[in-house]
Chains A and B, each alone.
Chain A
């Protein structure tokens, strides 16, 4: 059995929650469908949820994971080259992000955190739009309604409230789509996430709380945050939870499908703890060597989500040269698009600040915009005005 953090595994296993029916299960044992060595292991319940995954789909999951790792590396380099103000690397969390987002329907709505850039990519956000806010060129990089992904939330856990509210709206509409809140282990200690779970449970809202437990809340280890498994926190709210190997793309996908299905059939909220690891720094402004052991990183490198899937593909004879070449070409192309789009991104204009504040005309804001327009005009030369503003 795969264990992530010694001393914790035994606590949940066999706990009182496990005896309850499957609708009320606690996090319990870590579910794994692909071992770190790439061996497909069977699981009585989860297997049925990924039976339909064909060889082609497996290869395409591999491609997505490789591409978002490449996006991540390129964006990290762009930050080091002064082209981005900041970047929060997702290195190591590819299976959690791809396995979950690929389980969604187009009409499901995602409420991501700042680190869920792989999720945004898979929902169709252009690579250069992903980095727009990180370059400081816009308050948000994309229109949430074109891809059904809300703008990335910087405030830790706040998006869980948005997701719950949206899910209550889905209930009012009588629709069967689902809201998915992405957040990390640290967010589960925040009031927002706890309040969101209270409301989600009270209203049995169709929301999935997808927690990527990457073991570090900046420099705070998860064992300090929670003395029980993160997944077990959900049971305090009466929300069924699952605890899956977050570096196993199939286990993540199966868990997400279970949760989505429950929500669509009126079964209410679910909580998924995807146990993974942030192999990079918290952001490009952080130095993790100051607070964590290099051995820990080594241990997790051995459980790498991409090499694991690669090993599975190899066992199945699917890892052809053509596939590898195609994946490399795709990653190169996306990285090139990201770089060019970043470097050539036009700067924001002074009047852009008035856009996207209200969806309908607003007289107060219109008046301010009018004043500001005339103020800018008083410089006589728009370029000069922009530079004066920029110097502030």
Chain B
């Protein structure tokens, strides 16, 4: 007789495994517990011992395929019909072969099916498997609901408010399932609409005229339901352009690069004092200097000692690309949405050149005239949320970059200064980085150095 061996759950709660290699071929005679295959689960590579002694008649899956738990993978021709007494395979074949463990056979997605909580979206009773029971529902709309009282009208055609599943009890649900009855089509006569055993029986006997659930859902029959024009209550805009690009980039970044965000709040009064002195100095006359200019410069200085943050994870080539230059991206709000143009070779610029480049970049971006070349090739980015008066956030990486810094607002706050509480200018830095290539230590040390410069710009002398 032929026996099938179905893939078991090889490690607490696995749903599938990959066949790595077969150790036997069709026609081979195998003994009990002889290793027949090597399979890889999400947890381990394991060897499968044969559950039978016999001759291999078929290998159902090729090496390299991922097989769901419970699927037959190999068949054997077994001598005779040796029953269970000596542990023969007979008894096991009668049962679900993978009853042991958590790995129930799943359908479809391989995820446990959730019981639907709505019956508005459930299949119509016509989909019930037993044709004899199929309710004779006329396809035309049921007696049109009275022009709905406003309170009952669904607010919009898309609305599929979750409706509770039909009220019943497990034994009745079991009965309905056995009879092929969709409880959504049965009217309950029990307490508070509870569907009873008799309701199900009567339904099968044709004693009840079901109401199609679609009608129950209360979709407006096209009647002008209310005074309010729906268009004013919501606006639908096609997703395109910068919004679409931004969305794609953010989704791809957020779900490919494992983000870690760290925060550092610090006293930047010395930097703000330096900024004031620079603005007053003759050499910077006519240039636009902002806290962002100094933060950008500080980032460029700190990056020298922490080049791993100026890198890219190249998944396709399985390489880490270390950039030996810095194209500094600056997130800019433009009329069309968010863009992140970058300043090429920002690391080679003097503070003067950097401030010019920053001014040009933001002006161009706001005018919506950024050239495509300026939008690509960035190696690290800064987003200035401080201009909106925001302190901190968890920025999402510009795709392909390893780090992004959110610069918070500079606020006067009571702060420890020389062992006393003083009113100081305080800022929060939020640094997100790609944990695939930047470890917590590297990210933290970079942020620490950056903070050291901003807390005492003189520290920059020690770093360049």
Contact = CB atoms under 8 A, between A and B. Distances in A.
A86 interface: yes
B31 to A, nearest CB: 12
A82 B171 contact: no
Contacts of A77: 33, 49
B48 A343 contact: no
A339 B92 CA distance: 11
Nearest to B11: A285
Given A80-B47, A80-B49, A82-B97, A384 B174 contact: yes
B86 A82 contact: no
B91 A82 contact: no
B93 to A, nearest CB: 10
Query: How would you classify the secondary structure of chain B's contact residues: helix, strand, loop or mixed?
Result: loop
Interface in B3-49: 5-12, 33, 43-49
Given A80-B46, A80-B47, A388-B170, A285 B12 contact: yes
Contacts, number: 93
A343 B46 contact: no
A286 interface: yes
A289 B9 CA distance: 20
Interface residues of A, number: 36
Nearest to B90: A343
A83 interface: yes
A67 interface: no
B174 A286 contact: no
B98 interface: yes
Given A136-B101, A286-B43, A286-B44, A81 B12 contact: no
A385 B98 CA distance: 21
Nearest to A340: B87
Given A340-B85, A343-B92, A287 B45 contact: yes
B12 A82 contact: no
B44 A388 contact: no
Contacts of A336: 86-87
B6 A82 contact: yes
Query: Which size bracket describes the interface of B in this complex?
Result: 35 or more
Contacts of B101: 82, 85-86, 136
Contact of A287 (B8, B9, B44, B86): B44
B10 A284 contact: yes
Interface in A262-287: 281, 283-287
B91 A344 contact: yes
A377 to B, nearest CB: 9
B102 interface: yes
Instruction: Tell me which of A82, A340, A385 has the highest count of chain B C-beta atoms within 10 A of its own C-beta.
Output: A82
A344 B44 CA distance: 29
B159 interface: no
Contacts of A257: none
Contact of B48 (A80, A135, A347): A80
A135 B100 contact: yes
B139 to A, nearest CB: 34
In the complex, the 10 A-B pairs of residues with the closest C-beta atoms, listed nearest first: A82-B8, A287-B44, A285-B11, A340-B87, A339-B87, A81-B51, A85-B101, A77-B49, A378-B171, A344-B84
Given A136-B101, A340-B86, A343-B91, 7 more contacts: A80-B8, A80-B10, A80-B49, A85-B9, A285-B43, A290-B44, A343-B89
Interface of A: 73-74, 77, 79-86, 135-136, 281, 283-287, 289-290, 336, 339-344, 347, 375, 378-380, 384-385, 388
20 contacts: A74-B33, A77-B33, A80-B10, A80-B49, A81-B48, A81-B49, A82-B98, A84-B100, A285-B43, A286-B44, A342-B87, A343-B89, A344-B87, A347-B99, A375-B171, A378-B171, A379-B174, A380-B171, A385-B174, A388-B170
